[in-house]
């Protein structure tokens, strides 16, 4: 199965900053089938990005995804207070689907 | 409005059996995958498995194969995750989620609220 490694483990930034989160796959992700989710404490995850770069319904355009093959990035431009959360990547091009271990985005 | 409503929290003893549920509404239940995702206390997300209610095609993660059973009853738009003999290490939050029919396995666009399973003697 494909192993996803997210970095950094924790990212400390201030509101208004730009956040760059990385997700690296152990082998190429088929057709760039890579999704990103956000999870706040006590809540279910929420889909942000699918297909590496397509925003899900209702997701603001400060969230953007990029990358291909084995290296993917989630960028959040102009952090809002509600953006501080844990972010997970998931590949769904190969079975079984797998998640990264998460990046915690915390307020500096 | 798409909704996935999961059954309530459970407290069980080791060795007991359990079946939790996830009812979908607001969409055609048979043409989307339903996936199950485990989150152990303070930990990340783990892909358990998926089922396609239209034909009951089921895929398990190797880590969970033989440990759980995923099923669905399309007549009541409900998917299930069950254990025949629980272990303390099954203690976790379990989420169900809807997956569009995209490729071999889906991403998850709508999620249930989660079912907390606690296994303790």
Tens of pLDDT, residue by residue over A43-101, are 999 999 999 999 999 999 999 999 999 999 999 999 999 999 999 999 999 999 999 99
| Alpha helix segments (H runs only) across chain A | none
- pLDDT at site B57: 94
* Contacts within 8 Å (CB) and 24+ apart, A15-18: A15/A79, A15/A80, A15/A81, A15/A107, A16/A78, A16/A79, A17/A78, A17/A79, A18/A75, A18/A76, A18/A77, A18/A78, A18/A79
> In this complex, do A95 and B105 lie within 8 Å of one another by their Cβ atoms?
yes
Q: Are B9 and B115 in contact (CB under 8 A)?
A: yes
- pLDDT at site B104: 81
Which sign, positive or negative, has the C-alpha torsion A37, A38, A40, A43?
Answer: negative
- pLDDT at site A91: 97
> In this complex, do A44 and B61 lie within 8 Å of one another by their Cβ atoms?
no
| pLDDT tens digits, one per residue of A3-53 | 999 999 999 999 999 999 999 999 999 999 999 999 999 999 999 999 999
What does the DSSP assignment read for A78-99?
Answer: S--GGG-SEEEEEE-SSSSPEE
Distance from CA of A6 to the nearest CA of B (A): 12
Minimum-distance CB partner of A44 among B46, B60, B95? B95
Distance from CA of A61 to the nearest CA of B (A): 18
């Amino acid at each position: 199965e494909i192993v996803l490694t997210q970095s950094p483990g924790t990212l400390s930034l201030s509101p208004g900053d730009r956040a760059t989160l990385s997700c690296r796959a152990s082998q190429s992700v088929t057709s760039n089938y890579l999704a990103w989710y956000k999870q706040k404490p006590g809540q279910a995850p929420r889909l942000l990005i699918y297909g590496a770069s397509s925003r899900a319904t209702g997701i603001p355009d400060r969230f953007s995804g990029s990358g291909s093959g084995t290296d993917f990035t989630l960028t959040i431009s102009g952090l809002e207070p509600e953006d501080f959360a844990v972010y997970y990547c998931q590949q769904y091009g190969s079975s079984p689907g797998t998640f990264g271990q998460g990046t915690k985005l915390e307020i500096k | 409005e798409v909704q996935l409503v999961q059954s309530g929290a459970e407290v069980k003893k080791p060795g007991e059996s359990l079946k939790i549920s996830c009812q979908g509404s607001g969409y055609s239940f048979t043409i989307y995958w339903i996936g199950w995702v485990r989150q152990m206390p303070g930990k990340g997300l783990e892909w358990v498995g998926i089922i396609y209610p239209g034909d009951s095609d089921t895929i398990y993660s190797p880590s969970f194969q033989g440990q759980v059973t995923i099923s669905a009853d399309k007549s009541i738009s409900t998917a299930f995750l069950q254990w025949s003999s629980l272990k303390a290490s099954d203690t976790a939050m379990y989420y169900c989620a809807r997956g569009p029919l995209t490729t071999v396995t889906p991403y998850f666009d709508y999620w249930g609220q989660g079912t907390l399973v606690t296994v303790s003697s």
